[in-house]
Amino acid sequence: MLILIHLWMRNSKALSKLFFDKAYNIIKRAIRIIPFPISVDEGGNLVKLAIAVNKIREHKEENFSIICDLVAEASKNDAELILFPETALTGLVNTDSPEKDLDLGETISDEFIERLSMISKDLNIWIALGIFERENKTLYDTAILISPEKDIVLKHRRTDPGWHSPNAPADIYKEGNGFEAVETPFGRATFLICGELFHDDALEAAKRLKPDLLLIPMARSAYKIDDVQQWWNTEEKWFYVDRVAKTGANCLFANCLGDGVLEDSFGGAMAIDKNGKIIAELPLFRQGILYVDMNPGG
């Protein structure tokens, strides 16, 4: 009888420890990916930032209207900056046909950009977004940062050709050749666009700028995956986390959201702190805004 009681006690302790270890790991994992905005306060003043995902419509005017509504909503909720995805005005819908694709582009002085600059001033909010940029007869995958006081203060042209096919005419579909940063109320800010994050030379170039805030507009899609949200949560997003952690910067991701016909991107937004910890997320396939409070120096 004593032997049986002793064995029962040993097994109970082992089971308790096993249960505790599993519960601890589940809680630890849940905290790591908790999908709610959380303040990152390591001293200093916090700033409220917004990451917006707009569902792509067929016409540029419709997309612009949605963008304006989201900017107004972010401003109403006291956000000081809002980031939109790559090619937010159109979606990544280029076809390698210059006759069609050049019409997708905006010059830096075109109406939509001018109107966004005015909205930025009126609402006193910084706006970052991706666009197809047209310059004469060339097209770039570009991201711009608009200041309420100085219009466009940062423009970055994607440096890798992943946004078009190898068959696209090289004299029309072009890439940028450098990286810059700008001082903002949110610290020193710079861009990486989508696949640039996974090119070592681009990541190192951004890292050398010593940014406090890394803005990453994306247009990422997935094919032949049944449950994209599960795949993203358990596998794919951790590659992104590992890459941005190398920069030591706070990072905001905004992924384009298509309708499955015009555009296939799956949406989603994410904020990661300088230590590579996910602090807030917006689920995939959902239009909306993710808010996060961050320390500009942290």
pLDDT in tens, 143-201: 999 999 989 999 999 999 999 999 999 999 999 999 999 999 999 999 999 999 999 99
Which residue, among 173, 153, 152, has the nearest Cα to 163 in the 3D structure?
A: 173
For residues 255-279, average pLDDT: 95
* Cβ-based burial of 152 (10 A; exposed 0-12, middle 13-18, buried ≥19): middle
CATH number of domain containing 160:
3.60.110.10
Looking at residue 81, what is its pLDDT?
Answer: 99
Pair (112, 207) in one structural domain: yes
The reported pLDDT for the residue numbered 234 is 97
Answer yes or no: do 151 and 132 share one domain: yes
- Give the mean model confidence (pLDDT) for residues 266-275: 97
Q: What is the largest CA-CA distance in the chain?
A: 91
CA distance 176 to 94: 18
Q: Tokens 């200041």, residue?
A: 147
Distance in angstroms (rounded) separating the CA atoms of residues 135 and 256: 23
6 and 137 assigned to the same domain: no
- Residue 2: how many CB atoms within 10 A of its CB? 6
What would the mean pLDDT of 125-149 be, rounded to a whole number? Answer: 98
Same domain, 60 and 107: yes
If one counts the domains in the chain, the total is 2
Q: Note whether 10 and 49 are same-domain residues.
A: no
Same domain, 136 and 8: no
User: Are 176 and 191 a contacting pair, CB within 8 Å?
Assistant: no
- Tokens for 289, please give them: 């805004």
Residue where the block lists tokens 């909306």? 288
27 pLDDT more than 80: no
The pLDDT, as a whole number, for residue 172 is 98
Start-to-end Cα distance in the chain: 61
- Asked whether residue 24 falls in the same domain as residue 143, the answer is no
**Cα gap 142→158, rounded to integer Å:** 6
294, β-bridge pairs: 40, 47
CB neighbour burial string for 221-258, b if at least 16 within 10 angstroms, e if fewer: beeeeeebeeebbeeebeebbebbbebebbbbbbbbbb
Looking at the fold, whether 151 and 239 belong to one and the same domain comes out as yes
Q: What is the pLDDT of residue 45?
A: 83
pLDDT of residue 113: 97
CA distance 135 to 108: 9
Model confidence at 44, in pLDDT bands (50, 70, 90)? Answer: low
Query: What's the pTM value of the predicted model, to 2 decimals?
Result: 0.85
How much is the average pLDDT of 207-228?
96
Q: What is the pLDDT of residue 17?
A: 40
Q: Are 254 and 269 in contact (CB under 8 A)?
A: yes
CA angle 272, 277, 283 (to 5 degrees): 60
| Residue reference for tokens 């711009």 | 144
Q: Fill in the DSSP letter of residue 96.
A: S
H or E segment to which residue 157 belongs: strand 151-157
**Can you tell me the mean pLDDT for 265-282?**
97
> Residues 248-254: what's their mean pLDDT?
98
Q: How far apart (Å, rounded) are the C-alpha atoms in residues 238 and 4?
A: 47
Mean pLDDT across the chain: 88
Indicate whether 208 and 262 sit together in one domain.
Answer: yes
Spatial separation of the C-alpha atoms in residues 227 and 273, rounded to whole Å: 27
3-state class (DSSP) for residue 192 = coil
The residue assigned the tokens 């905004």 is: 254
Phi, psi of 84 (to 5 degrees): -110, 165
pLDDT of residue 223: 87
- Clarify whether residues 156 and 62 are in a common domain: yes
Share of the chain above pLDDT 70, in %: 85
User: Crossing angle of helices 60-76/111-123, nearest 10°?
Assistant: 10
How large is the average pLDDT for residues 290-297?
Answer: 90
- Contact indicator for 282, 35 with CB cutoff of 8 Å: yes
Check whether residue 25 and residue 87 sit in a common domain: no
Supply the range of the domain harboring residue 3: 1-32
Question: Range with the lowest mean pLDDT among 17-26, 184-193, 266-275?
Answer: 17-26
Give yes or no for residue 7 having a pLDDT over 80: no
> Where residue 260 falls among pLDDT bands split at 50, 70, 90?
confident
- The predicted model gives 290-298 an average pLDDT of 86
Q: Domain check: are 190 and 234 in the same one? A: yes
Q: Could you report the per-residue pLDDT of 47-74, keeping only the tens digit for each?
A: 999 999 999 999 999 999 999 999 999 9
Instruction: Take residue 161 and report the two structure tokens written for it.
Output: 């050709």
